[in-house]
Structure 1
């Protein structure tokens, strides 16, 4: 579908190539145990995951700071679980979470296979809202950093997806026109709507079981990319 149209493919990282939820769960398993926080991991994640999702939305919209995101998502989770914990320990957990998260390297199924397939034929890039200090570590620990020519993050751009500025910066860095570019990501709001606002082609990797929509095609396994490129 896009084979003769695009020269450059832009990927989101978290929830698209890098299996954020799996790596995040392993990180929490480690740091909660090491700090003797006696909550069941599954109970913690059940409460934390939707809270984290909402706080990332607020962060994308510029309504909260990075430090507020890191602290409040944990504070509210423990409050909802009814678990008594000091602010100091929350700060420790927040720092350790960032420190250890990038040491886990699980990718979504078929991620490396698809990158191997694409690399000889397209220029590949990353556009991510993730924190600059750990996104490069994630790419290196999962051994996919060499696939990508440019890695654009929100701290570099000064704005977050879906703001069109970050997509324009990515196009400028890659020296490519939007009609020759494809964005692949998991978030309808941040990746698909953001990329479409500046004229990129889009493909929605539905990692979050979002409902069908009319904006672009939706895939459920990264191997399906091969049928488009």
Structure 2
């Protein structure tokens, strides 16, 4: 990985442990609203629905509001749990409010950021909601490592749309030839970056065997040292 000057990271599922922090946020939501459902049962239904809604969101097929409401509405309906639309909307708001209260990071986050910070300019490109991403980074004490933080909402489109990557490169005063993207989503992060001419490292933390063998991948953040 020669001539790299700029390293762009995804945030959720790459540095910030979204699954663990999200589970804890929902635990807090369920307690606040006295939801008489098994949290484990809810999360089992919710997670694949949330995954599908985020795919639709990246593809501009649902709005942010439809995602926030729909993933909850569909989950409660699947579990035959009677709940009002007003309460679903309140839960949607509370969930995002509570997310930054939890700040679990993947193993090696601080070590790899300290290592890279002395060698490269570091940036974030995230599809996550703008109102919570900065709070997550501040509460987990990683915000200061990054020069530019680019959210899809600030661009108006989501990764893997090339506009996001080109906007990020312009903002960072970087060039596609001296930049690399590191993320956990093959479509949004890796293919999106490669399609605009950037290099990429796939964070294959779950050892996804269906991933493209030609893509540089790591199974832990510390492995990035082998390439940068």
Relative to the length of structure 2, the TM-score reads: 0.97
Structure 1: state its 5+ residue gaps. Answer: none
1:115-163 CA distances to partner (integer Å, 9 max, x unpaired)?
A: 0010000000000001111110011000000000000001111110000
Alignment of 1:179-198 (within 5 A): 179-198=177-196
2:157 maps to which residue?
159
> Is 1:217 aligned to residue 211 of structure 2?
no
Q: Say whether residues 1:56 and 2:61 are aligned partners.
A: no
Shift in Å at residue 33 of structure 1?
1.4
Aligned to 1:136: 134
For the pair 1:15 / 2:7, whether they are aligned, the reply is no
Q: Distance in 2 between matches of 1:15 and 1:95?
A: 21
Deviations 1:204-228 (A, max 9, x none): 0013543231341111110100111
Deviates more, 1:215-224 or 1:185-194: 215-224
Q: Which moved more, 1:116-125 or 1:40-49?
A: 40-49
Structure 2 unpaired stretches of 5+: none
Assess, with a 3 A threshold, how the Cα gap between structure 1 residues 84 and 207 changes in structure 2: closer, same or farther. farther
1:1-229 to structure 2, matched below 5 A, reads 2=1, 4-210=2-208, 211-229=210-228
Contact 2:16–2:103 under 8 Å retained in 1 = yes
Preserved contact between residue 162 and residue 191 of structure 1 (Cα < 8 Å): yes
Shift of 1:109: 0.7
Distance 1:59 1:71 in 2: 13
Return the alpha-carbon distance in structure 1 between the equivalents of residues 18 and 206 of structure 2: 12
SS at match of 2:8: strand
Distance in 1 (CA, whole Å) between partners of 2:197 and 2:165 is: 10
Following the alignment from structure 1 to structure 2, what is the Cα–Cα distance between the partners of residues 84 and 209? Answer: 38
SS in 2 for 1:204: strand
How many residue pairs get aligned? The number is 227
What whole-Å deviation, never above 9, does each CA across 1:22-69 have from its counterpart, x for those lacking one?
Answer: 000000001111101011111111111110000001011111111100
The answer as to whether partners of 2:69 and 2:88 remain within 8 angstroms in 1 is yes
